[in-house]
Amino acid sequence: MKINNIGYLLKEGIRGIFLHGFMSVAAICVTVACLLIVGLFSALTYNLNILVEDLNKTNEILVYVDSELSDAEAKSIGTVINMVDNVYQAVFVSREEALANFIAEHDGDAAFSGLEAEDLRHRYVVTLEDNTLMEQTVSDIEKIDGVVKISASYTLAEGFTTLQNILHVVSIAIVAVLLLVSLLIISNTVKLAMYGRRDEIAIMKMVGATNGFIRLPYVVEGFTLGMLGAGAAFGLEWLLYDLMLARLEELDTLKLFSFVPFDELLVPLLGTFFAAGLFVGVVGSWTSIRKFMDV
């Protein structure tokens, strides 16, 4: 294809946007709305996933050491525990520390007034890297000499894992539906443009115009609509996210929720919005063209 032909076809594609002003604006607005919802939901899901991971790390297991071991022997076990796969951290808690914590939790309870440090065991508070592997990790720790008992909350770990899986499935479903809506809108916009010029397309086919020559203006039109929608959605996403963080900071005085700054999301979201705009624009226009090529 000649260079001057490419320039002409690109110009025709841009002109098509203005020829169908209302539908073009509608396509951009719907794309913006869909991508904005996708972006906000993705950002929320990302932050919730980080929150769940942080909560997951608070689901610790307790590893009790044989009471017959000396303090030095009990402390040496920690090195072995930290070498076990999937162990993030193992913190040693002496009998005395365990007693102090126990008394603080049961302050004023006369039933435990005679409790001595020797009645308790040295222990380790172990945090795992991946709680979905808790059973295997517990099994590996149980094989260590000097470990007599392990207390682990499997139900809580499974709950966190289930919550993460639900977040992933819901986010994928919502993203897929919204992208499909944008795809259909842009496809219908380009289809309407081609329907109004179906006689012109038939004439171009009869005089020997190639399918590529006919298609390109409409692909450019769809691509431009998709990119305009993606750019506007990204700008609004940035603005709304920063406003949400500012509002959240005002309301959450106890700092219960910690959302990442937009800078951390900038590159992934920019790539996602660009890819989504490219997809709905090009694919939407390309699929709407096919039926008009058979003339």
Q: What is the pLDDT of residue 58?
A: 65
Give φ, ψ of 152 to 5 degrees.
-135, 140
- 31: enclosing H helix or E strand: helix 21-57
- Which of 170, 175, 172, 184 has its CA nearest to residue 276? 175
Q: What is the pLDDT of residue 191?
A: 66
Q: What is the pLDDT of residue 206?
A: 75
Q: What is the pLDDT of residue 256?
A: 58
Q: What is the pLDDT of residue 114?
A: 55
Per-residue pLDDT of the chain (295 residues; tens, 9 = 90+): 455 556 665 676 667 666 666 767 777 787 788 788 878 877 887 887 777 777 666 668 889 988 888 888 888 898 999 999 988 888 898 888 877 777 776 565 545 555 666 667 888 989 888 777 888 888 999 899 888 888 887 676 677 778 777 877 887 887 778 777 766 766 666 666 566 666 666 776 777 767 767 777 777 777 787 888 888 888 998 898 888 888 877 776 656 567 788 888 888 888 888 887 787 777 767 766 666 665 5
Q: What is the pLDDT of residue 190?
A: 61
| CA torsion through residues 97, 256, 166, 85, sign | negative
Helix extents (H) in 58-145:
71-82, 95-105, 134-142
